Amino acid sequence: MRHLSLLFIVLLSLSIFCFTLLPPRHDAFSVLYVIVIFLVSQAASRHVIKLIACLCIGLSVFSFSLVHRDDIVHGPYTRLALSIFAILLVTLLALRNQRITEALAKQKRILAHADRMLTLGYLSASIAHEINQPLTAIRTYAHSGVRWLKKTEPDLTEALHCFGSIEKNSQRAESIIGNIKNLAQKKSGIPEQISVHQIIQESCDILKNEISNKKINVIFNPSGQDIQFCAVRIEIQQIFINILMNAIQAFKESIPNNFIHIRVYDMTDRENFFAIHVVDNAMGFIEATPENIFDAFFSTKQNGMGLGLTICKGIIEAHGGRLIAEHNKLKGAKFIIQLPKHVS
C-alpha cells in the first residue's frame, strides 16, 4: 500500500517533469508540483515533505534550464519565480496543517490517558483488594513454612511447598501490577493482532470486583469462531472497560438479577465487519439520550468527567468503525460496536 502510493508520487513527479519538456515545452506546468506536495503531505512526516518540496523546486529549475537553454539569460524568470512561490506556499500550508494534526493527536492521547487514569482511580479499591490476596497468601505461607521447619521433626516437603507458593504468589502480585502499569502508561503502543474474545475476557477480569459488588451476572459465551483483528491493544481495552464500567455504574442496587450481556458476531449486512453488543438491564438513559451521551463532558454522574464515551467513539471511528447507543427493549441500555476486521 505504502509502496504503491510512493510509486504513484514518483510517477506523477516524473510525468510533470516530462510534461514541461514535451512540446510545446511549457515550463509553466511546474506549478503542478503542488499536487505532489499535497499528496505527500497526507501521509509523510514533516522532514519528508520538506525534502520533496526541495526536490520539486530542483526539478522546476532543472526543467526551466532545459527548456530555455538557448536563451537562458532572457528566460521568463517571473514564471519560474511564481511556480517556486506556489510550491513554497503549499509546502508551508502542508507543514502547518501537519503540525496542527499532530497537536490534535497529542491532545487526544493526553485525554485518553487522563481517562485511563480516572478509571484506575475508580478501580483503586479493587486493585488494593486484588494485590492484598496474593500478599495474604505470601505472608501466611511464610509463617507456615517457618512452623513446618521448627517442628521437632521438620517437614521439608511441606516447607518446600510453602516456598514454591510464595514464589507463585509474588508472580501473581507482579502480574496485577503489570496490568496497572499497562493502563497507566502514556504511550498507547503499536497495533498488534488481537483476539476479540480474549480482550473482552481481560476487561471483565479487570472489573471483576466491581461486577461482583453489584452482584452482576455477566453473560459472555464466546461461542463460534473467535475474531482476530489488528489494533492497538490498550485502545481497544479502553473501549470495553469504559462501556462496561458505565453499565456497572448504571446499576443502582446490588440484586441477583442484574445482568450484562455481551455478544460478538460477524455482520451479515457489512462485509468484513464484526459487531459487539453490550446490553445491560440497569436504569437505562435517564436525563440523557442515546445521542447526547457521546458529547464531550456530558455526564449525569456526580463525579463523572463525561469523557468515557467520547473517547470510545473517537477510538472506534479512528479504526473505521461505528459506536451506537440505543434504549434496550425492556429496560437498560444497549451499546453496539462495529469494527472492520482488517484495519490498515
Ligand X SMILES: Nc1ncnc2c1ncn2[C@@H]1O[C@H](COP(=O)(O)OP(=O)(O)OP(=O)(O)O)[C@@H](O)[C@H]1O
CB–CB of 148/154 below 8 Å?
Answer: yes
With CB under 6 A as the rule, give the number of residues binding ligand X: 24
Q: How far is the CB of 111 from Mg ion (least distance, A)?
A: 13
Residue number of the CB atom closest to ligand X: 308
Q: How far is the CB of 214 from ligand X (least distance, A)?
A: 12
- Span interacting with ligand X, options 168-176, 211-219, 267-275, 304-312, rule CB under 6 A: 304-312
* Cβ-based nearer residue to other proteins, 137 or 180: 137
Q: Residue for cell digits 451499546?
A: 335
Of 306, 322, 338, 343, which lies in the binding site for ligand X, with binding defined by CB under 6 A? 306
DSSP summary character for residue 291: T
Buried b (16+ CB within 10 A) or exposed e, 292-321: ebbeeebeeeeeebebbbbbbbbbbeebeb
Chain centroid to CA 280: 25
Q: Binding to ligand X (CB under 6 A): which residues in 218-247?
A: 242, 246-247
Of 141, 229, 240, 274, which lies in the binding site for other proteins, with binding defined by CB under 8 A? 141
Q: Residue for cell digits 514533516?
A: 46
Q: Binding to other proteins (CB under 8 A): which residues in 223-282?
A: 256
CB burial of residue 108 (10 Å; 0-12, 13-18, 19+): middle
Is residue 48 close enough to count as binding other proteins by CB under 8 A?
no
Q: Is the peptide bond before 24 cis (omega within 30 degrees of 0)?
A: yes
Helix (H, G, I), strand (E, B) or coil at 302: coil
* Cβ-based nearer residue to ligand X, 247 or 316: 247
Of 91, 119, 246, 258, which lies in the binding site for Mg ion, with binding defined by CB under 5 A? 246
Q: How far is the CB of 323 from other proteins (least distance, A)?
A: 29
Measure the CA dihedral 11/15/16/21, to 10°: 150
CB–CB of 308/321 below 8 Å?
Answer: no
Of 7, 128, 184, 296, which lies in the binding site for other proteins, with binding defined by CB under 8 A? 128
Contact residues: ligand X, CB under 6 A: 118, 242, 246-247, 250, 280, 282-285, 288, 293, 298-301, 304-310, 333
